[in-house]
Structure 1
Amino acid sequence: MSFKRTSIALAFTFLTPFAMAEVATGQYALVAKHSNLALDVTGASSADGADVIQWDYRGARNQHFKVDKLGNGYYTIHAVHSGKSLDVWEFSTEAGGDIRQWSATGNYNQQWKISESGDGFYTVVSRHSGLALDVWGWNKAAGADVRQWPLTGGDNQQWYFRPVSTDGGTVQPPKLPNRGSNCKSTGSQSVSETIRVNGGVYDGKCKTFNPTSALGDGSQNESQKPVFRLENGATLKNVIIGNNGADGIHVYNGATVENVRWTNVGEDALTVKSSGGKVVLRNIEAYDGSDKFLQANAASTIQVSACTVDSMGKFIRQNGGTKFPVSITVDNCSIANMKEGIFRTDSSASTARITNSTLDNAGSICIGKWKSCTSANISGQ
């Protein structure tokens, strides 16, 4: 048996799973956990034998599947655009056997066991072969082939079933939940001297850290000190920064910031102070900044996801007049009430992209001389 490989690099799309104990009969988009790309009949073909791949979710009918419960622990899965069944090609029992669409026959190679695997995800296993629906080679690219493989529990074999419209029209990805921090304050701590984290993990256990006047007053004064200084890949998590944000967080040589809330940013929430390493922010939220949410003062790679940011001058700003390269990606964020916009730079070497996000009164997405500044799946503006 010969297998074809397809590799088409496009932007990923993110959907959020619903937690369901059992998949009910209905129409769904099936999205791979490892890539956030949707199961797709290639080229929207209606032909028997058309290949099944993963692709950016665009709400097309060849990405919607009617899932019918057979009542014996198994399901049939039919592409909405063609009415044809998800089928193990040529009754293969081999690991790596291809998955295609074919006219419904009721045979076991068109019947699937759908089992919960945790966190709202499911595995899909062929009744015919006992092998799982699998994105071949853990490929994250749009166009990657979908085949069958022994069940490993890997993220490329875990799917979530996102209910979609049944009216025959194209639907856009729904508004995404799970943005921002889930911390509820467990107590408070005054901070009169910057907390320095050099490598390793600092877990604030959802305490509220209240900077004193020794660090600053939360104004636009550039001489304020940070509440936290993160160095050499340090991780800061489960923290609430109180009403006087001082100068927020400074990062040297990369860091991860996770489940953090800035109650009142003041000047800047986070500043990248040196090049080296990657700066990753996820499940964060910030409010009431006089200037920027995030400032890049050095060449850097910045990734922001699952964020809520409201009432700032700008979302991310590269230091004015600088020409070094900054690479920024933002995904699954809610950004509102920016006085000026989302991304700003004076550098023609820098790139920015925002995807799967909701913007409300957020100004221009791209301001300045970007080498590349793009967006996809933006709602609300």
Structure 2
Amino acid sequence: MKPSVIVPLLAAVLSTQTITAMAIDNGRYAIISRHSGLALDVDGNSTADGANVVQWEYTGDENQQFNVTNLGNGYYTIRPVHSDKSLDVWEWSTEPGGEIRQWQFSGGYNQQWAIDNAGNGYHTISSRHSGLPLDVWTWSTANGGDIRQWSSTGAVNQQWRFQPVDGGDDGDDGGSGSNPGGPVGKGSSCESTGSRFVPETIVVNGGTFDGQCQTFNASSALGDGGQSEGQDPVFRLENGATLKNVIIGQNGADGIHVYNGGTLENILWMDVGEDAMTVKSEGNVTVRNIEGYNGSDKFLQVNASTNLTVSNCVVDNMGKFLRQNGGTGFEINVTVDNCDISNMSEGIFRTDSYSSTAHISNSRLRNAGRVCIGNWASCTSSGLSNF
């Protein structure tokens, strides 16, 4: 090949590498699966060579944090903070299904990774050695699900969000979600992957329902999304069920009902109906990474004894953030942490029960009214700021 041809081709290659290298800024990240909402994790917090890489619910521990460094050649190193080793294609495999583990950093091609924008704030992570992307093995949604390499499919189990541990900008402007912070920051990371019509309440009895960030639009048979009592919920959770990765559309009806405890994770209410969520019977309820807008009355309603924990939320334009059923004396214990709450016409917490407690911490408020309204046994706050 003539030199005059080599030079333009080389320039084109360098240009492509430069674009790829800009996909992620150098920094420390949690790496979250689009498919499962779980974080990349070195199993058992191990610091040993050969420790397996899995997915796990994000805890903030350093075995779920990774120093990502641009090598300047179109590839990155991805190194677990707790061990300072490296993500490694085990035994230099080039086969689909090859394992991903951690190993002492050597700089080999099996420890170099291409990070490419997949759109909507997500990226693929592909081995320089094999050319294969990281993949949530067998589409697992469970803690401990294996991470391997597999032929590129473009599916969501091969897409990852790089969330800065400090909640800052991840350097990607490709997504326009309601809150690009996702499972580590505040609010929901969901951007609609399609719409689903809901003619009758979806019941989740135990186990997990993963909505894959679809938008669920209630029919008029459930209600009109106004403030009339007696509307039906879009989802009904029973017996410790988990609901995650869901967008509730413009007709919110009566949102989500929880019976006998449950977990809500990564939920967006585009337009809160009668209530966003109602605790309907006794049981512990955990709610995290939620986001909701435009509810005339309550965001959260509690109609039974519960320990309710809410974290990483964004809630705007409601009457109240939380209301215990009026005129009742049963005990609820509410803990709210790391939330942005704005434009509450009345306030944050309201009860008539002398036995109930509430605490809000590490949160930002704007035009949020009184924190405590009513006859709480204890209602306290710490680490609040304005925004």
Q: Aligned partners of 1:249, 1:35: CA distance in 2, in Å?
A: 34
Q: Kindly tell me: are residues 156 and 295 of structure 1, through their superposed partners in 2, closer, same or farther at Cα, counting changes over 3 Å?
A: closer
Q: Is contact 2:217–2:249 with CA below 8 Å preserved after alignment?
A: no
Q: Secondary structure at the match of 2:55?
A: strand
Residues 379 and 179 of structure 1, relative CA distance in 2, 3 Å threshold? farther
Look up the SS of the partner of 1:260 in the other structure: coil
Which residue of 1 is the match for residue 339 of structure 2? 358
Question: How much does 1:164 deviate?
Answer: 2.3
Provide the rounded CA distance (Å) in 2 between the counterparts of 1:27 and 1:257: 29
Partner of 2:185: 174
For residue 235 of structure 1, the aligned residue among 217, 240, 257 is 217
Aligned partner of 1:49 in structure 2 is 50
Deviation at 1:103, TM superposition (A): 1.0
What is the CA deviation profile of residues 319-372 of structure 1, one whole-angstrom value per residue up to 9, with x for unaligned ones? x89xxxx9x9988643588769467699x9xxx99998727563389x999xxx
Distance 1:364 1:143 in 2: 40
Counterpart residue type for residue 315 of structure 1: L
Residue aligning to 2:116: 115
SS of equivalent residue, structure 2 residue 348: coil
Query: How big is the alpha-carbon RMSD for the aligned residues of Structure 1 and Structure 2?
Result: 5.5
The runs of 5 or more residues in structure 2 that have no matched partner are: 1-20, 168-182, 203-215, 237-245, 282-286, 342-346, 365-380, 382-387
Aligned to 2:249: 259
Q: What TM-score results when the alignment is normalised by the length of structure 1?
A: 0.55
Contact map agreement 1:249 1:271 (CA 8 A) in 2: no
- Quick check: 1:306 aligned with 2:291? yes
Contact 1:313 1:338 in 2 (8 A): yes
Q: Please report how far the alpha carbon of residue 149 of structure 1 lies from its aligned counterpart in structure 2 after TM superposition.
A: 1.1
**Aligned equivalents of 1:161 and 1:295: distance in 2?**
33
1:86 offset after TM fit, Å?
Answer: 0.6
Cα displacement (A) at 1:285? 4.0
Which residue of structure 2 aligns with residue 334 of structure 1? 314
Q: Tell me, yes or no, if the aligned pair for 1:180 and 1:284 is still in contact at 8 Å.
A: no
Offset at residue 152 of structure 1 (A): 1.1
The match for 1:150 is 151
Match of 1:162 in 2: 163
Deviations along 1:171-200, one digit per CA (max 9) or x if unpaired, are x9333367999xxxxxxxxxxxxxxxxxx8
Query: Is residue 81 from structure 1 mapped to residue 61 from structure 2 by the alignment?
Result: no
| Residues 307 and 107 of structure 1, relative CA distance in 2, 3 Å threshold | same
Opposite residue 99 of structure 1, the aligned amino acid is I
Q: How far apart are 1:311 and its partner, in Å?
A: 7.4
Verify: 1:37 aligned to 2:48, yes or no: no
CA contact (8 A) 2:33 2:40 kept: yes
CA–CA distance in structure 1, aligned partners of residues 160 and 231 of structure 2: 38
| Counterparts of residues 194-209 of structure 1 (less than 5 Å) | 201=197
CA displacement, residues 195-253 of structure 1 (integer Å, 9 cap, x when unaligned): xxxxx849xxxxxxxxxxxxxxxxxxxxxxxxxxx65778349xxx99x9552782388
SS at match of 1:57: coil
Which moves more between the two structures, 250-259 or 102-111?
250-259
TM-score normalised over the length of structure 2: 0.55
* 1:241-320 superposed matches below 5 A: 245=226, 247=228, 250-251=231-232, 258-260=248-250, 270=254, 282-286=268-272, 305-308=290-293, 312=297, 315-318=300-303
Is the Cα contact below 8 Å between 1:180 and 1:259 reproduced in 2? no
Residues 338 and 30 (structure 1), Cα distance of their counterparts in 2 relative to 1, 3 Å cut:
same
Q: Any conservation in 2 of the 1:178–1:306 contact (CA below 8 Å)?
A: no
Equivalent residue letter for 2:217 = T
CA separation of 1:64 and 1:153: change in aligned 2, threshold 3 A:
same
Task: Say whether the 8 Å CA contact 1:179–1:307 is kept in structure 2.
Answer: no
Structure with the larger RCO, 1 or 2 (CA within 8 Å, 6+ apart): 1
Q: How far off its partner does 1:82 sit?
A: 1.7
68-77 or 27-36: bigger deviation = 68-77
Count of aligned residue pairs for this structure pair: 286
CA contact (8 A) 2:233 2:255 kept: no
Q: State the alpha-carbon separation in 1 of the partners of residues 146 and 354 from structure 2.
A: 39
Structure (1/2) with the larger helix percentage: 2
Aligned-partner residue type, residue 250 of structure 1:
Q
Kindly provide the amino acid, as one letter, of the partner of residue 307 in structure 1: G
- How far is the alpha carbon of 1:270 from its aligned partner? 2.8
Query: Whole-Å Cα distance in 2 between the matches of residues 46 and 295 of structure 1?
Result: 43
> Partners in 2 of 1:154 and 1:368 — Cα distance?
51
- Give 3-state SS (helix, strand or coil) of 1:101's partner: strand
1:59 — aligned with what?
A: 60
Mapped to 1, the partners of 2:311 and 2:251 lie a distance apart of 18
Residue aligning to 2:97: 96
- SS of residue paired to 1:128: coil
Aligned residue in 2 for 1:219: none
Does the aligned pair in 1 maintain the 2:188–2:268 contact within 8 Å? no
Distance 2:133 2:191 in 1: 34
119 and 286 in structure 1: CA distance in 2 versus 1, 3 angstrom threshold: same
Distance apart, 1:138 and its partner CA: 1.2
Aligned identity (percent) is 37
Distance in 2 between residues matched to 1:140 and 1:368, nearest whole Å:
41
Judging changes above 3 Å, is the alpha-carbon distance between structure 1 residues 378 and 91 closer, same or farther for their aligned structure 2 residues? farther
Task: State the alpha-carbon separation in 1 of the partners of residues 149 and 299 from structure 2.
Answer: 46
Per-residue deviation, 1:40 = 1.3
CA-CA distance at 1:160 after TM superposition: 0.9
User: Quick one: which amino acid aligns to residue 56 of structure 1?
Assistant: E
Secondary structure, in 3 states, of the residue corresponding to 1:270?
coil
Tell me the CA shift for residue 38 of structure 1. 1.1
- Cα separation, partners in 2 of 1:180 and 1:79, compared to 1, 3 Å: closer
**1:379–1:344 CA distance, 2 compared to 1 (3 A):** farther
